[in-house]
Amino acid sequence: MTSFLPEKFSVWGEKNYFSQPIATIASMAANLNNSGSELQAPWPQELAVKFGAKGYNGFECLGAWQIINPNALVGIVETVRNRILEFVLKIEAENPDAGEAPPNSEPVPMEKLQPLVHNVFYGSVGSLAQNSEHFSQTVSMGIQPQDLTRLVTDLTKHLDELNLDVRQKQRAEVQIAALKAEIAGSPDSALVGQAGRTLRNITEGAIGSLLATATQPAVWQWIHQTLASFR
């Protein structure tokens, strides 16, 4: 019963995130429909054992999972397909022959194409140039003091979840301590930047592997994005 899950763990009983390519999701949906089975998204073992049997007196829980109906996967595929079709129809409305245009041509003027395209970025983006040439950009990126404090707090609290080896964990703790020292006084941007970049390099792979299975994915998503701002 998911109602017994603490709020910070409720995502495991209520939501599921798919980061696979759409072709993979389409294949999963087809295979599940053909076999008549359903997709299972398991809870972490510790979560299942501790909370899974609450509400069922006298029983223990050894495993728990979400059941995902294949129709939900079909819905994802159909949504993507419809978005693509909508985009193609808008292009066709501007120029019915756009699909037959020769390479390096411009069948639809850029000023008409731009409103049809929406870019969504997950993470820090310092600059962006699309279909541009003969220009220069100057970008300044930084991290706010309150975000730096939160980064140190969250990393200190959740560092064990990364399952770093002893050496890497020690290195991460040294960098976190360095950031704490800077926060306590007048932060030196060079030292903060160096510590942040080192932390990013140490944790990048582990965070990437953890995001799909994290107990609190939102926390790790934020940490990942914040560390990415250290360049």
Q: What is the DSSP string of 214-225?
A: -SSHHHHHHHHH
**Among candidates 72, 60, 68, which has minimal Cα distance to 12?**
68
Q: What is the pLDDT of residues 81-139, one digit of tens each?
A: 998 999 888 888 888 888 888 887 888 887 777 777 777 665 555 566 665 666 666 65
Q: What is the largest CA-CA distance in the chain?
A: 72
Give the model's pLDDT for residue 176.
Answer: 92
Higher-scoring residue by pLDDT: 126, 44: 44
Of the pLDDT bands very low, low, confident and very high (cuts 50, 70, 90), residue 10 is confident
**Among candidates 71, 67, 80, 69, which has minimal Cα distance to 21?**
80
**Among candidates 184, 179, 228, 177, which has minimal Cα distance to 207?**
228
Of the pLDDT bands very low, low, confident and very high (cuts 50, 70, 90), residue 76 is very high
Higher-scoring residue by pLDDT: 186, 80: 80
As a whole number of angstroms, the distance between CA 4 and CA 9 comes to: 10
Q: What is the pLDDT of residues 183-221, one digit of tens each?
A: 888 888 888 888 888 998 898 888 877 766 666 677 888
**Among candidates 9, 74, 41, which has minimal Cα distance to 219?**
9
Of the pLDDT bands very low, low, confident and very high (cuts 50, 70, 90), residue 19 is confident
H/E stretch holding 40 reads strand 39-42
Rounded to two decimals, what is the model's pTM? 0.48
Q: What is the DSSP string of 167-212?
A: HHHHHHHHHHHHHHHHHHSS--HHHHHHHHHHHHHHHHHHHHHHTT
Reduced to 3 states, what is the DSSP secondary structure of residue 41? strand
As a whole number of angstroms, the distance between CA 13 and CA 41 comes to: 9
Q: What is the pLDDT of residues 48-65, one digit of tens each?
A: 888 888 888 888 888 888
**Among candidates 193, 120, 205, 135, which has minimal Cα distance to 165?**
205
Give the model's pLDDT for residue 134.
Answer: 62
Give the model's pLDDT for residue 209.
Answer: 73
Mean of all residue pLDDT scores within the chain? 82
